Every structure is written in structure tokens, then in C-alpha cells.
Amino acid sequence: MPEFTQDYFTPRIPDWTRLLIDQRGWDPDQKHVVVEIGAFEGRSSVWMHETLLRHPESRLYCIDSWRQRDGRAFELFQANIAELDGNDRITVMRMASHAALHNLRSQRVMADLVYVDGSHFGCDVLSDLVQSFFITRTGGVMICDDYLWRGRKERPRALVDTPKPAIDAFTTCYARKLRIIEDVPLYQLAFEKLAD
């Protein structure tokens, strides 16, 4: 059984299922590419692999810096991924997201879905969004976690150190190239890429 010390993802599953599978007709038996920025212990990775990526040529790229000082997260991620059938379809990229996204662009990887859940500092989120847009195919979806997150309750962050201003800036500047998907609860923000 997969082991997690924290589960950020399970509460998102009903909305993801509705958005991707019920509304957009995502067929897990068709070939797809998913890029995940911020894999942590693999909770969202396991769900995406098992639920969205059953085709033998599908691929999941899991990006995370997994710094040593963050504890056992990488160890748990590896153990959780090791249990999955077809885990050779998962590419683990242990590096900062800007470097990983640059690599993927150089390899001409194009994703059907990018999950942006790495650093939550506005400047990093903005850079993740701009870089991810290049590697998202037209018609693909980007989902940003924690759009409304303001930091830990006991230590709220300055707004500029949270995802929201970055996501707002990005979606404003790219307004002609994307469509915000509005019928999901607003805690996360999802949009479809309409044009390069």
C-alpha cells in the first residue's frame, strides 16, 4: 500500500474526475503525456498514473527538487512509485522546475496536462506557468494548485509570496491564448490552452 505522511490530493479527486474524465472525455486507454511540477511523496502522481495514464505509451514526468532537508519525501515517493504496474512509464526529474521544464522543452515533449504544484512563491509560480505553457499542446489543460492559498494558518504569507498574483498575471497576459475553465470550485484554477 502506498504510504503518505500528508495527503494534499485526495480532496481534489472528485473535481479532477469531473473536469478531465466526465467533461473533457479523457480516455485513459489513449496515449497521453502528463507533467507534474511538485510530486512530493507521489500522492497525485499515483492517482494520475493509475487513473489517467493506462496506455502503454503514455508517460508521466514527475518534477521535484526533493531537497534533503525536506525529509523522507523522496524516499516515500520512490517506494510508492515502485509499487505501481507500468512504472517504467514514469520519468523522475529530481531538479528545480525551471531546469526540468527547460529540458522537456529541449526534448520537444508536449503535454496534454500540466499540474503546477511546485514552489508556491509567486515569482516561481509565474516562471513555472510561462515555461509550462510552451510544453502544453493546444487543447491541453493546465491545473494550478492552491490558487487561493495564503500560507500556513499560523504564518500567513505576504500576497506576493503566494500563487495567486502569479496566476492572475499569467492568465491576464495570456488571455487570448487560453480559456479559464470556470465550472470547477475556485480553490484550484484550471485552464485550457487555445493557441501558441
Ligand X SMILES: C[S@@+](CC[C@H](N)C(=O)[O-])C[C@H]1O[C@@H](n2cnc3c(N)ncnc32)[C@H](O)[C@@H]1O
Which residues of this protein are in contact with ligand X, per CB under 6 A?
8-9, 38-40, 43-44, 63-66, 70, 73, 96-97, 117-119, 124
Task: Please tell me the distance from the alpha carbon of residue 16 to that of residue 9, in angstroms, as a whole number.
Answer: 10
Q: Do the beta carbons of residue 55 and residue 32 sit within 8 Å?
A: yes
Shortest distance (Å) from residue 47 CB to ligand X: 8
Shortest distance (Å) from residue 159 CB to ligand X: 19
Q: Comparing C-alpha atoms, which of 19, 32, 36 is closest to residue 132?
A: 36
Shortest distance (Å) from residue 126 CB to ligand X: 12
Q: CB-wise, 123 or 175, nearer to ligand X?
A: 123
Q: CB-wise, 21 or 96, nearer to ligand X?
A: 96
How does strand 59-64 pair with strand 90-94?
parallel
Shortest distance (Å) from residue 42 CB to ligand X: 7
Q: Do the beta carbons of residue 161 and residue 151 sit within 8 Å?
A: yes
Q: CB-wise, 169 or 177, nearer to ligand X?
A: 169
Shortest distance (Å) from residue 2 CB to ligand X: 11
Q: Do the beta carbons of residue 177 and residue 194 sit within 8 Å?
A: yes
Q: CB-wise, 30 or 169, nearer to ligand X?
A: 169
How does strand 33-37 pair with strand 59-64?
parallel
Q: Comparing C-alpha atoms, which of 171, 170, 179, 173 is closest to residue 138?
A: 179
Q: CB-wise, 102 or 177, nearer to ligand X?
A: 102
Shortest distance (Å) from residue 98 CB to ligand X: 7
Q: Do the beta carbons of residue 134 and residue 65 sit within 8 Å?
A: no
User: What b-and-e string marks burial along 77-86, b requiring 16 or more CB atoms within 10 Å of the CB?
Assistant: beebbeebee
Q: CB-wise, 58 or 97, nearer to ligand X?
A: 97
Residue type, 141: V
